[in-house]
Amino acid sequence: MRQVTGWIVLIVLVVFLIWSVMLIHPFGYPDVSDMDDYIIENSQEETGSNNVVAAVLFDYRGLDTLGEATILFTAVTGVLLLLRASKRKEETS
């Protein structure tokens, strides 16, 4: 039962995946690129950065990078939280 459901879900997913990548624009020739053209044209003037990817990361989409840094912080905090000793030092000694 579980196997059969699994296969059905998998096949439906794969069919739709292949279908969607067939439908999307051919690789290398995007249909629309207004936003990216604007960024490539204006990033030097607006952010002063030669590296357009850095300009996108830290200026145009700065909140994403802040969120990304936050996720890293969250994960580090989470890992250290889960690997902590569950008893305090003075109790064990």
Partner 1 sequence: MMEHIPLDFPFLAAALLVGISFYIIIFKKNLIKLIMGIAMLASGVNLFLVSLGYRAGGNAPIYTDVPEGTMVMSVPQALTLTSIVINVAVLALMLTMVIRIYRHTGSLDSEKSRKLKG
Partner 2 sequence: MAALITHAPILIIAIPLLAAFLTPLIGMASSKARNAFVVVSLIFTVFLVFTLAKDVAINGIHVYTLGAASPDLSLPTGFIVPVRIILEVDGMAVFFSIIWSVVSLAAAIYSLSHIASETGQNRFFTLLLLMVMGGFGLMFTGDLFNLFVFLEIASISGAALIAYRTKFADTQEGGFKYIVVSAIASLMVLFAVGLLYGQYNSLNIAYLAQVIQYTMLDKIALALFLIAFAMKTGMVPLHLWFPDAYSVAPASITGMLVITSHACMYAAFRICFTLYGSVINAPVVGWIIIIFGLLTMFVGVTMAVYQKDVMRFMSYHAISQLGYMWVGVGVGLAVLGNPELIATYGRDAMSGGIFHILNHAMYKPLLFFTGGALFHYTGTRDLTKMGGLAHKMKWTTILYIIGTLSISGIPPLNGFSSKILIYESVYQFHPILTITGIIVSILTLASFTKAFHSAFMGAELPEYKGVKEVPRSMIIAMVILAAGIIFITLFPSLIVDSTIHPAADALIDPKPYISAVTGAIP
Partner 3 sequence: MLTKIVRTVANQLILFIVIFGLYVIVHGHITPGGGFQGGAVVVSGIVMLLVVFGSQDLKKSLRERVLSITESSGALMFIILAFIGIGVVFFYNFLLGTPIFGRIPDFGSGPGDIWTGGVIPLMNIAVGIKVIAGLSAVVLALALFSGGEEVEE
User: Distance between alpha carbon 3 and the CA centroid of its chain, in Å?
Assistant: 31
By CB under 8 A, is residue 42 in contact with partner 1?
Answer: no
By CB under 8 A, is residue 90 in contact with partner 3?
Answer: no
Interface with partner 3 (CB under 8 A), residue from 21, 32, 85, 90 = 85
If DSSP codes are grouped into helix, strand and coil, which group holds residue 26? coil
Measured CA to CA, the distance from residue 65 to residue 54 in angstroms comes to: 10
Residues of the shown chain interacting with partner 2 in the complex, contacts defined by CB under 8 A: 16, 19-20, 23-25, 30-36, 38-39, 42, 59-64, 66-68, 70-71, 73-75, 77-78, 80-82, 84-88
Residues in the chain: 93
